[in-house]
Amino acid sequence: MDRQIKSEWIKASSVRSTWVIVGLSIVGIVAQAITALIQGGSDSAALTRGVLSGSSYTLVLMVILGAVASSGEYTRKSIITTYTVSPSRARAIVAKTVVVIAIALVIGALSVPISRLVAAIWFAVGSGSWDAGLGTALHYAYGTMITYAGFAVIGVMVGVLCRSTAIAVGVAFGVLFIIDPILAAVTTYSEYTATASAATMLDPDTHQTAQPAFGAAIALMVFYMIVLSAIAVGVEQRRDVD
Amino acid sequence: MGYSYRPPMIEVQELTKTYRHFTAVKRLSFRADPGQITGFLGPNGAGKTTTINMILGLARPDGGEAKIAGTMFHELDDPVATVGAVLAGGAFHDGRSARESLLATAAVAGLPDSRVDEVIELVGLGDAPNRRVGAYSLGMRQRLSLAQALLGDPQVLILDEPTNGLDPGGIKWLRETLQRLAHDQGKTILLSSHILTEVQETVDTVVVIAEGQLASEFSLRDLDSDAGQVIARTPQAEGLVAAVQRDGVTATRDGETVRVSGMTSLDVGEAALKAGIVLAELRAEHLELEQRYMELTQGKGR
């Protein structure tokens, strides 16, 4: 598996799209922090939550990162090479997922330090203050990392199922940002949607009644990742590659 | 010298593939042996690519099985070191360099980076290893595909229409490379094509399929010695006609051109040498193979 992961890392790191998405993700984090600072207000605790919470722009990019990593192989036909050098499709998909998770975790881990840096510059140039302690920062970093990784995995698996980058991104967005909110409108389901668990984890200190608790949100995200991965791998192992 | 049995490296048994109501491959059986180049011929839509995809585990057969070195593809311990494939005009990401593409494959197989540089030189891409594959010509992509196939120095090579996009020089290079790999290094090569003239100088045995079924399987050498026609050009045409005269041989002269039936080109060359006759040209004309191929496949394209 180590060799397979190394191979997937070479693939991911050698194409421009990966680095463009990583760059845009950083921009998304900065944009989220600046937006929160502009909208700030006098409540320093609320300001802190707004600045530190994970970027929803970047969350969208994580879905794209995963979808491009997997579906791009079909679009470019390089999946033929992948499967002829590695007959176990499950291993190939797992290796790709590990690499995408690693990239998402790094971006998630950078989220809080970048936001803190933006806030420090903002306060140094202008006025205002916040009260972000290390414990709060770690809490936000932890939640953001898991959310980004979870949505990136969802992107990978939807990409495997759709085998087309455009369709995969469209389907992932449709499910996460249209169908999921509609299902959330149904009271009995609202706490169990992927977007509700993401909302909890990206901003763990602001708890809404329609959102799961932090631990439940993590469990839900892991559940969605495992179920979708099992479906995608199961389907892929039975399909032909043209 | 004792007889030693060499088991087939590619063995296809009763392979069948159906797409909805269309049977692409129907109970196809054939084999490819070590040290030989096996031509896998058939018109467009005959089922060649579907068969190769099943051999390589890319498509699931509905019946039968295909084995490489006695093992199903998905059960191979080290696929890169067992079988190399040239498929689909080069299945590479356009945004990656040739070297990066090969490094990704080398990593899976646990091969050193130096092996990547070796095969790049071997296929003649030494001048452009870091250029993006998207900027490669079709011929360069075919060379890169071959580099990838050779990366693990496998005993089996499967090539699907490898001459697509190659210029005459590239085709000659490919022919010489494949002949060296098969005849000198004992590798098993399965070479598919729908253009007979492109492979007739390359292959040793031929498997012809039409409409997904085996039409014929034969050795080119047998065919050549049976009924091939050799064409020689020499200013001493009359002397050559006399030199090759024997039972079962027919030689006719037309100016400086002599057509000989019933002898191989090697035999004609030897006869000319013994008679001290200078040859300006000597070639075998596979009229019989072409006729046979046309008979087997006529009207069976899909």
Q: Has residue B88 got a pLDDT over 80?
A: no
| Tens of pLDDT, residues A28-82 | 999 988 888 887 766 677 777 777 777 888 888 999 999 999 998 888 888 888 8
Mind telling me how many Å the CA of B226 is from chain A's nearest CA?
A: 40
Query: Percentage of chain A surpassing pLDDT 70?
Result: 93
A chain contacts of residue B136, beta-carbon cutoff 8 Å = none
Q: Has residue B289 got a pLDDT over 70?
A: no
Q: Could you tell me which residues of chain A have a Cβ less than 8 Å from any Cβ in chain B?
A: 3-4, 6-8, 10-11, 14-17, 72-73, 76-81, 83-88, 238, 240-242
Per-residue confidence in pLDDT tens, chain A, 242 aa = 888 999 999 999 998 999 999 999 999 999 988 888 887 766 677 777 777 777 888 888 999 999 999 998 888 888 888 888 888 899 999 999 999 999 999 999 998 889 888 888 887 777 766 666 777 778 888 888 989 999 999 999 999 999 988 898 888 888 878 887 787 777 677 777 888 788 788 887 776 666 777 888 888 889 989 999 999 999 998 888 87
Q: Are strands B156-160 and B188-193 parallel, antiparallel or unpaired?
A: parallel
Q: Has residue B262 got a pLDDT over 60?
A: yes
Instruction: Pick the closest to residue A154 from A104, A84, A119 (CA basis).
Output: A104
**Amino acid B3: pLDDT:** 46
Angle between helix axes A134-162 and A56-75 (nearest 10 degrees) is 30
| Tens of pLDDT, residues B241-254 | 888 887 778 888 88
B chain contacts of residue A10, beta-carbon cutoff 8 Å = 100, 103-104, 107
Q: Could you tell me which residues of chain B have a Cβ less than 8 Å from any Cβ in chain A?
A: 53, 56-60, 73-76, 79-80, 83, 85, 87-88, 91-97, 100-101, 103-105, 107-110, 148
Phi and psi at A76, nearest 5°, equal: -90, 0
Mean pLDDT computed over B248-274: 85
Q: Mutation test of the interface with chain A: which of B82, B108, B153, choosing the one with the most A Cβ atoms within 10 A?
A: B108
Instruction: Pick the closest to residue B220 from B48, B9, B38 (CA basis).
Output: B38
Q: Mutation test of the interface with chain A: which of B80, B93, B151, choosing the one with the most A Cβ atoms within 10 A?
A: B93
Residue B59 to residue A87: CA distance in whole angstroms:
12
* Contact yes or no for B103 and A10 at CB 8 A: yes
Mind telling me how many Å the CA of A132 is from chain B's nearest CA?
A: 42
Residue of B nearest to A81 (CA): B91
* Contact yes or no for A10 and B92 at CB 8 A: no
How many interchain CB pairs under 8 A, A with B? 84
* Contact yes or no for A80 and B73 at CB 8 A: no
CA dist A206 → A80, A113, A199, A211, B68 (Å) = 47, 20, 9, 10, 60
The SS3 of residue A9 is: helix
